Amino acid sequence: MTKKIESHQNKILKWVKGLSLKKNRDKEGVFIAEGLRFVSEIPEEWEVQLFMVSEDFAKEEELGCYEERAQTYVVSDELFALVSDTENPQGILAVCKKQEEFDETIWKKEAPFFILAEELNDPGNLGTLIRTADAAGVDGIFLSKGSVDVYNGKVLRATMGSIFHVPIFQNVSVQEIASKMKEQRISLFAAHLKGEKYPYDLPLTKGCGFLIGNEARGLSDEAASLCDCWVKIPMPGKAESLNASMAAGLLMYEVVRQRLK
């Protein structure tokens, strides 16, 4: 069954609109997946709180699959534009539950493979990192306090749905995660301009993690000191550094290469 919302003052509409703010997403433990492709990526077992669609969308698409799953609200195109995060809305969004519980079983995997990022700030970078981590088969991504929110619209769009595939843990303490990795005998490597080893010489078929620094400042000295080894990505050309998500991607794919054999 669908319900119609016709007023700007409607409580549900205002609540969905409020989710563009991080503090409201945090309070409610939900986020917005917008657009047909993104919504179609929501796994069956994932909890959806509600769907909201525009009248134009409702005219052209069957709503049955949405109604079965969660309460579905139809709003005018004008009202939909108010809750949309994009310039040309496709007319569909889902309010999804965050997966916030820390899953201790990720430590028990055989040869797990993690990313730990310190204060990654750029939404596009974080989104690309998550998408690449998903392709590379990363077992978990840890984001330190001070990183951009994973549930920010720009980050979500750049993930292309990978947000549903890779466990992501926000607001972690880099020190705590590094200790936990040490305890589990997972080697922690950092991309660092002063690195001594090339990624190709690291033992990556065993449990491993990579520590990635902030786009402008790089890794803090404190975080860098927690690593087993600093890694140098070769740069035979003239550029002095790589984009943070590119550096992370190159390291993750070295794990993929070594584990293919």
Judged by CB under 8 A, which stretch of 3-11, 80-88, 167-175, 233-241 contacts a second copy? 233-241
The DSSP result for 66-120, as a single string, is HHTTSEEEEE-HHHHHHH-SSSS--SEEEEEE---S--GGGGGSSS-EEEEESS-
Tell me how far, at minimum, the Cβ of 31 lies from a second copy, in Å.
Answer: 19
Judged by CB under 8 A, which stretch of 9-17, 21-29, 65-73, 234-242 contacts a second copy? 234-242
Is residue 214 a contact residue for a second copy (CB under 8 A)? no
Choose which of 1, 62, 183, 260 interacts with a second copy (CB under 8 A): 260
Tell me how far, at minimum, the Cβ of 138 lies from a second copy, in Å.
Answer: 7
226 within 8 A of 188, measured Cβ to Cβ: yes
Alpha helices in 97-243 (DSSP H): 123-136, 153-159, 174-183, 221-224
Tell me how far, at minimum, the Cβ of 71 lies from a second copy, in Å.
Answer: 28
Q: Which of residues 132-191 bind a second copy (CB under 8 A)?
A: 132-138, 158, 160-162, 165-166
Q: Which lies closer to a second copy via its Cβ, residue 52 or residue 136?
A: 136
Choose which of 54, 72, 128, 147 interacts with a second copy (CB under 8 A): 128
Distance between CA atoms of residues 71 and 66, nearest Å: 8
Question: Comparing C-alpha atoms, which of 158, 122, 161, 160 is closest to residue 143?
Answer: 122
Contacts (Cβ under 8 Å, ≥6 apart) of 208 = 111, 113, 114, 186, 187, 188, 189, 202, 255
Tell me how far, at minimum, the Cβ of 8 lies from a second copy, in Å.
Answer: 30
Q: Which residues here bind a second copy, judged by CB under 8 A?
A: 124, 128, 131-138, 158, 160-162, 165-166, 198, 200, 233-239, 241-243, 245-246, 249-250, 253, 256-257, 259-260
